[in-house]
Chains A and B, each alone.
Chain A
Amino acid sequence: MVDNHIHDDEACPKDEGISRELPDLPLDILHHIFARTDPITVVRCAAASKLLRRHITNPSFHQHLRNNHHGEGFVPVLLVGMFFKESEGRKFVPWPPSAKLTLSLAPPANVGDYDNCGLYRSKFQPVASRAGPVVLRRYRGCSDRTTVVDLCVGNPVTGDYALLLPPATVLRTSYPHVLLTGDEVDGPSISSFRLLDRLRRTGPHANGRLALLVAESLGIAMWTLSKDSTSWARRLVVDRQRILGSVKLHCHPLECAVIQLEWFGQASGTVAFQMHGVGILLVNLQTREIGQISQDRRQNICRSLCFFPYEIDLVSVLAAMKSF
């Protein structure tokens, strides 16, 4: 089947003097290759030729990706950046820094400091995210002089947002929000999610088993529950010496001792933590790569630091792409 192969006779005639016969790679091999690369490269492949784009926008490829991304393993490239709380709203920092990813963080029709009735409303700011969608929050003045909170959930890559109408609008703002997404997300719209208003920390799952990450003086350890749920096994995920050897230190290595775990990205398998005298660090459980986020002068662990990861839902991005 011509359509199943990269070698398309119409798109690329054989008699053009090309030095080498094109690889006649079956679709499942192309899927293998695309599924291993990072989101930016997949999108660029789709811009290389119409045939590749057809393969990449094909639902069978999305199923292939979904099987990989929703399987037991981690896909490190799905972590594309972090939201940081800053004095002026929240800032998105792409990861790796060279990626320069930008996100749209407001529903299109809701920009501006005042609504139609002249009442003040703050900018939407991201407060939680999981597996693609983010939750945005803003404060809005009402005619009875009270302030209410608006929440919306959407995809910051495609810019599709849905405002949660009352009674989904919550009045209490002191709780952090946690987004739980459904397993099946069809196309660019989010078909099912739950929003919790209380933070729950869950551990990563390894081999489908419950695992806990623990910050120790030696580094970061992972405790994994045995298959019969009767015992825990400990192993060191990353040791302190390796961390110290691969990052920029702001003080003497002996002082860089305390580690505070911050969050765990379940899709990418990335652990974010602060280390005294070093700053914010990322370690990926699959590749073991260590990354240093902030190289500022902050020496102590900042207890009130607020940041969370953004892991892209590549399938929804690809499903929303235009066909040619």
Chain B
Amino acid sequence: MEVDKGKGEAEETRKVAEADRDTVTLKSSDGKLFEVSKEAAARLSTVLAGMIAGGSIDDNGTDLKQIGSEALENVVDYCNKHANSIPSAALISSSISFNTAPFKEPEEWERKFVDRLSHDALFDLVEAANFLGMERLLDVTCHKISEMMKGKSPDQIREVFNIKNDYTKEELEEIRQELAWAFYDD
């Protein structure tokens, strides 16, 4: 039996070594490499969890062609920060017995995490979170965008989403009259 080992065993050893690695390497659309904790990636992203379970993680960098390096850096940063904040998160959820909101409120560090992002980086991160199936990050980023819109006029909302006004003057007037209570300060 000793003699029969050889190549097969070496292959096995390499596989075990790969499986033992506690990080995965992700490659952005512009070719930059990022390392992220395998445990956090699998826990926070349904897509990465599927890739890890299915063995389609590339040791030299798993291609994520839809995500730019800035957004991917933020994703990885979020995963690492999340991994470090587990104890406090567990503590908080056990102390609030009726935290049954449709959306769980972002934690302090999550707020800070999205607050420092530029407008463009935030929207890129929403798309990346959506692509990677990161429900919690999607929640936190959507929360931030909805906060950015609060109290804004239709003109300012157009600026946030970078969209053009396609209403005629008459149509806008009709809209304002229809629900005047929503346009009290225009």
Which A residues are in CB contact (< 8 Å) with B163?
Answer: 6, 11-12, 22, 48-49, 51-52
Q: How far is A285 from B99 in the complex, measured between Cα atoms in Å?
A: 9
Given contacts A6-B161, A47-B172, A207-B97, contact A324 B167 (CB under 8 A): yes
B-contact bits for A54-77, CB 8 A (1 contact / 0 none): 000000000000011101111100
Q: How far is A29 from B125 in the complex, measured between Cα atoms in Å?
A: 12
**Interface check B42, CB cutoff 8 A:** no
Whether the pair A20, B120 counts as a contact (CB closer than 8 A) is yes
**Interface check B37, CB cutoff 8 A:** no
Closest to A7 in B: B163
Distance in Å: Cβ of B107 to nearest Cβ of chain A: 14
Which A residues are in CB contact (< 8 Å) with B36?
Answer: none
Which A residues are in CB contact (< 8 Å) with B149?
Answer: 33, 37, 41, 45
**Interface check B180, CB cutoff 8 A:** yes
Instruction: Please classify how large the interface on chain A is, using the bins under 10, 10 to 19, 20 to 34, 35 or more.
Output: 35 or more
Whether the pair B154, A48 counts as a contact (CB closer than 8 A) is yes
Interface residues of B in 122-159 (CB under 8 A from A): 123, 126-127, 130, 138-139, 142-143, 145-147, 149-155, 157-158
**Interface check A44, CB cutoff 8 A:** yes
**Interface check B108, CB cutoff 8 A:** no
Which B residues are in CB contact (< 8 Å) with A44?
Answer: 152-154, 157, 182-183
**Interface check B11, CB cutoff 8 A:** no
A-contact bits for B69-88, CB 8 A (1 contact / 0 none): 00000000000000000000
Q: Which of A12, A18, A22, A47 contacts B154 (CB 8 A)?
A: A47
**Interface check B176, CB cutoff 8 A:** yes
Whether the pair A102, B130 counts as a contact (CB closer than 8 A) is no
Whether the pair A34, B127 counts as a contact (CB closer than 8 A) is no
**Interface check A93, CB cutoff 8 A:** no
Which A residues are in CB contact (< 8 Å) with B164?
Answer: 11-12, 16, 49
Q: Which of A22, A68, A207, A208 contacts B161 (CB 8 A)?
A: A22
**Interface check B174, CB cutoff 8 A:** yes
Whether the pair B162, A22 counts as a contact (CB closer than 8 A) is yes
Q: How far is A206 from B99 in the complex, measured between Cα atoms in Å?
A: 8
Whether the pair A73, B154 counts as a contact (CB closer than 8 A) is no
Given contacts A11-B164, A47-B167, A47-B172, contact A157 B98 (CB under 8 A): no
Which B residues are in CB contact (< 8 Å) with A222?
Answer: 98
**Interface check B100, CB cutoff 8 A:** yes
Which B residues are in CB contact (< 8 Å) with A285?
Answer: 98
Q: How far is A155 from B174 in the complex, measured between Cα atoms in Å?
A: 20
Q: How far is A37 from B161 in the complex, measured between Cα atoms in Å?
A: 15
Distance in Å: Cβ of A82 to nearest Cβ of chain B: 15
Q: Which of A38, A48, A102 contacts B180 (CB 8 A)?
A: A102
Closest to B143 in A: A36
Whether the pair B181, A48 counts as a contact (CB closer than 8 A) is no
Distance in Å: Cβ of A248 to nearest Cβ of chain B: 24
Q: Which of A24, A102, A224 contacts B98 (CB 8 A)?
A: A224
Q: Which of A23, A32, A286 contacts B123 (CB 8 A)?
A: A23
Which A residues are in CB contact (< 8 Å) with B147?
Answer: 37
Distance in Å: Cβ of A286 to nearest Cβ of chain B: 5
Distance in Å: Cβ of A257 to nearest Cβ of chain B: 26
Closest to A80 in B: B181
Whether the pair A75, B158 counts as a contact (CB closer than 8 A) is no
**Interface check A321, CB cutoff 8 A:** yes
**Interface check B179, CB cutoff 8 A:** yes
**Interface check A99, CB cutoff 8 A:** yes
Q: Which of B102, B123, B142 contacts A73 (CB 8 A)?
A: B102
Given contacts A20-B120, A47-B175, contact A41 B152 (CB under 8 A): yes
Distance in Å: Cβ of A219 to nearest Cβ of chain B: 16
Distance in Å: Cβ of B120 to nearest Cβ of chain A: 6
Interface residues of A in 277-309 (CB under 8 A from B): 285-287
Given contacts A24-B127, A52-B163, A73-B101, contact A34 B184 (CB under 8 A): no
Whether the pair A324, B171 counts as a contact (CB closer than 8 A) is yes
Whether the pair B138, A32 counts as a contact (CB closer than 8 A) is yes
Which B residues are in CB contact (< 8 Å) with A6?
Answer: 161, 163
Q: List 6 A-B contacts (CB under 8 A).
A: A25-B130, A32-B139, A33-B149, A35-B102, A52-B161, A100-B181
CB-based closest 9 A-B pairs: A206-B98, A43-B182, A36-B146, A68-B102, A100-B184, A73-B101, A23-B123, A37-B146, A32-B142
Write the residues of chain B forming the contact surface with A, with a CB cutoff of 8 angstroms: 97-103, 105, 120, 123, 126-127, 130, 138-139, 142-143, 145-147, 149-155, 157-158, 161-167, 171-172, 174-176, 178-185
Write the residues of chain A forming the contact surface with B, with a CB cutoff of 8 angstroms: 6, 11-12, 16, 18-20, 22-26, 29, 32-41, 43-52, 67-69, 71-75, 99-103, 157, 206-208, 211, 222, 224, 233, 235, 285-287, 317, 321-322, 324
